[in-house]
Structure 1
C-alpha cells in the first residue's frame, strides 16, 4: 500500500513563494569585515530584481548592543541562528569577499547541505573548488 507524499516544510515554503510570485531570495554570507562589499552586493542583487537578506550586525564595530562580553556571546549565538534561518529562507547564497573563515565555511556547508546554490564574488575562495 502506497502512502501519500506529505510535503516537507521546505517544499511548502517553495510552493508558497511560487504561489506568491516572489522574486528569488538571495542570502549574502561572508565575514563582516566585508560589510561595504556586502552593501554593494545587496545593491547589485536588488537592482537585478532579487530580494536580499544579509547580516544586519557588524559585531566587529563597537556598539552598545554588544559592549558587554557576556551579552555579546549570547547575541552572537542568536545571530548565528538567525542567519541560518535566512539561508533556509533563501533560494541561493552569495558569498562575499576573498577570505573564507570558519563561520562562513560553516554557512556554505549548511547551504549546500540544504541543496542551495552557492555563488561567490571571488570564486577562487570557494573552499570546495
Structure 2
C-alpha cells in the first residue's frame, strides 16, 4: 500500500505562493533606530518587484499605546511574534543598518534556521561572517 507524501506547512506555503504567482517576499530587519534606512530599502526592494514586510512600530519614542510599562512589555512581545511571522512568510531577509543588537541578531539566526537567505546593507555586521 502506498501512502501519500506528507508536506510540511512551509512546503505548502511555497507551493501556494508559486501557484498564485506571488512575487518574492523580503522581510526587512534591523534596529528601529534605522527606520529611515528601512523605508529607503523597502522602496528599493519594491521597485525591484518584491513584496516587502518590515517593522512598522518604533517604540523608542513616547506614545500612549506604550506609556504604561506593563502594556509596553506586552506590546513588545506581540510585535516580536508578529515579526517572526513575517520572517516565516518571507523568501529572503534584508538586514538594514551599520549596527545590529541582540533582537536583530536573534532574528538573523531564526531566519537562517528557517533556511532564508539573509542579505545585509552593511555586510560587516553579519554575526556569522568569517573574520
TM-score bucket (shorter structure): over 0.9
Q: Which residue of 2 aligns with 1:115?
A: 115
Q: Which residue of 2 aligns with 1:48?
A: 48
The secondary structure found in structure 1 opposite 2:93 is: strand
Aligned pair count reads 129
For 1:59 and 1:88, locate their aligned partners in 2 and report how far apart those are by CA, in whole Å.
23
Q: What is the aligned partner in structure 1 of residue 93 from structure 2?
A: 93
Deviation at 1:4, TM superposition (A): 3.0
Tell me the equivalent position of 1:13.
13
- The equivalent residue for 1:61 is 61
Structure 1 segments (4+ residues) deviating >2 Å: 1-4
Q: Distance in 2 between matches of 1:70 and 1:8?
A: 37
Q: CA RMSD in A?
A: 1.0
Q: Which runs of 5+ in 1 are unaligned?
A: none
Normalized against structure 1, the TM-score is what? 0.97
Q: Which residue of 1 aligns with 2:33?
A: 33
